[in-house]
Amino acid sequence: MTVTIDPGLVDRAVRSEPEATAALLEQLRPGVVRYCRARLGRVGGAYTTADDVAQEVCLALLKTLPRYRDQGRPFTAFVYAIAAHKVTDAQRAAVRHAGPAPVDTLEERPDAAPGPEQQAVSTDLARRLSVLLAQLPEQQREIVVLRVAAGLSAEEVGVIVGMSPAAVRVYQSRALAKLRTLAGDTLGEVAA
């Protein structure tokens, strides 16, 4: 699902028109969230960190939007460059601040989130998928995340990674073939 951003909408948002800015964020946010979730995964069974990073991307976009200048590249390349930097920052921060967070109070009502079994299954699947993606070369991994999770077109991804759309498709095809082979081994096994 490729999101096509109207250049006129971007121009109006750059000029700080509130309706255009809101419409632009509304179109971009779902892809940014998918991208951050794909890159950061779940922490403690939830996407809270990835969703927070997606929000930071949107805030950074709002902050830099007035200074944006069209340089002949798709606007989404600008957006996903910001997202890539924010994800990298979050990964670095997670390494620095690794450790359990204290809990001061307990919730008074039952949690509506999935139960422990479903969380364990989801977390295990996410872990296995992350292991699979980690086995790909970095450029192939980035292309798969941008194409599959963020839903960008080959043309948009090509601008972001500095490749032709045809080369993006070839890299994606090779990456998916490798993932299929690896998944047969990794996802087919039964956890002990």
- Domains of the chain, residue spans: 7-96+118-186
What is the Cα–Cα distance from 32 to 106, expressed in whole angstroms?
Answer: 32
Counting residues of the chain whose pLDDT is more than 70, the rounded percentage is 85
Indicate the range of 92-96, 135-139, 165-169 predicted with least confidence. 92-96
Maximum pairwise Cα distance, the chain: 58
Q: Per-residue pLDDT tens for 5-62?
A: 888 999 999 999 999 999 999 999 999 998 898 888 776 666 778 889 999 999 999 9
Residue 63: what pLDDT?
95
Indicate the average pLDDT of the chain.
Answer: 83
- For 28, 70, 106, 139, the CA distances from 143, given in Å and listed in that order, are 18, 23, 42, 6
Label residue 100 by pLDDT band (50, 70, 90).
low
Average pLDDT (74-79) is 89
Give the residue with greater pLDDT, 20 vs 118: 20
Label residue 3 by pLDDT band (50, 70, 90).
low
Q: DSSP characters for 35-85?
A: HHHHHH--BTTB-HHHHHHHHHHHHHHHHHGGG----SS-HHHHHHHHHHH
Residue 74: what pLDDT?
86
Model pTM greater than 0.75? no
What's the fold here for domain 7-96+118-186?
Arc Repressor Mutant, subunit A (1.10.10)
Label residue 96 by pLDDT band (50, 70, 90).
confident
